[in-house]
Amino acid sequence: MMKVMIVEDDPMVATINQQYIERSEGFHTIAAVGTITEVWEALTMDIPDLILLDVYLPGQTGLEFLQELRQKQYSIPVIMITAADDIGTIKTSLEYGVIDFLIKPFTYQRFKVAIDNFMQYHKLTTSMEKTDQETLDQLLIKEKTPISSRNNNVLTPLPKGLSKLTLKKVLQAIEKQTHAFSTEDIASSINLSRISSRKYLQHLNDIGFLESELKYLSVGRPIMIYHVVPNKEHLIVDYK
């Protein structure tokens, strides 16, 4: 089981990142912290296999922490997850050896690519004493098929248990929504169970047609709400 530490000061974003981790088979979160001080405290308790690290944090930035982490000879793999999109930040992160860089907002599909890249890296650096060019190229020359497939308008196959007919009804219900919507909104509009509706909405979220976020209510647990990502109609054209 891969141990993951999430370093994110926004509770909502941290929750979404943890949900993504929990959907990744063989991974679990051992700590979710919001400051660099808390990171160092957590590292005294357990060393993770992977750190998901934000750049903008109170007190000390993720880049400053990353530099200190390397100076102290920690070789923990790091995936940067941040709203920072300037080339300088990206360049510095790569110089400090991050294995991937995700710019918010991102889809679960892109997150899974980062996790797959990490697993290749982990396998190469922990279970092999020697390698060959082909194996090394798989790590260094990353062909992100899911991302390029979306750009080429290739239809993503439906996951097992989902039907094209029901998905079409879900898409019709989504078209009628004038604001961000919940699973309950879709379920009630097409007389589908909330569990089934959630599966279809999650698939649309995974392929990049929808984006999701947690909405905090004054009473009770937060709910997941969705909205359509602009200019992504090509991702669902064959479903309609």
Structural domain contains residue 159: no
Any idea what the CATH number is for the domain that residue 138 is in?
3.40.50.2300
DSSP conformation letters of 9-57: S-HHHHHHHHHHHHHSTTEEEEEEESSHHHHHHHHTT---SEEEE-S--
Number of domains comprising the chain: 2
Contact between residue 210 and residue 226 where contact means Cβ atoms under 8 Å apart: yes
Q: Bigger pLDDT: 142 or 237? A: 237
- Please check whether residues 13 and 110 belong to one and the same domain: yes
The neighbour count for residue 1, using CB atoms within 10 Å, is 9
| Residue-number span of the structural domain to which 24 is assigned | 2-149
- Please check whether residues 144 and 179 belong to one and the same domain: no
Structural domain contains residue 154: no
- Please check whether residues 103 and 185 belong to one and the same domain: no
**Most confident option among 31-40, 77-86, 134-143:** 31-40
pLDDT value at 24 more than 60:
yes
- Please check whether residues 12 and 123 belong to one and the same domain: yes
- Please check whether residues 204 and 117 belong to one and the same domain: no
* Mean pLDDT lowest among 26-40, 82-96, 137-151: 137-151
- Please check whether residues 82 and 199 belong to one and the same domain: no
- Please check whether residues 143 and 196 belong to one and the same domain: no
* Mean pLDDT lowest among 34-43, 154-163, 226-235: 154-163
What pLDDT does residue 138 have? 59
Average the pLDDT over 52-77 and give the result: 93
Structural domain contains residue 156: no
- Please check whether residues 177 and 141 belong to one and the same domain: no
Question: How many percent of the chain have pLDDT more than 90?
Answer: 46
128: confidence class by pLDDT, cuts 50, 70, 90: low
Chain-centroid distance, C-alpha 29: 14
* Mean pLDDT lowest among 103-117, 155-169, 184-198: 155-169
Domain termination site, one of 149, 183, 203: 149
- Please check whether residues 15 and 91 belong to one and the same domain: yes
> Residue 54 is encoded by which pair of tokens?
């934000």
144: confidence class by pLDDT, cuts 50, 70, 90: very low
Question: Looking up tokens 């943890």, which residue turns up?
Answer: 18
Structural domain contains residue 190: yes
pLDDT value at 146 more than 50:
no
Structural domain contains residue 158: no
What pLDDT does residue 88 have? 85
- Please check whether residues 91 and 39 belong to one and the same domain: yes
- Please check whether residues 34 and 124 belong to one and the same domain: yes
- Please check whether residues 16 and 122 belong to one and the same domain: yes
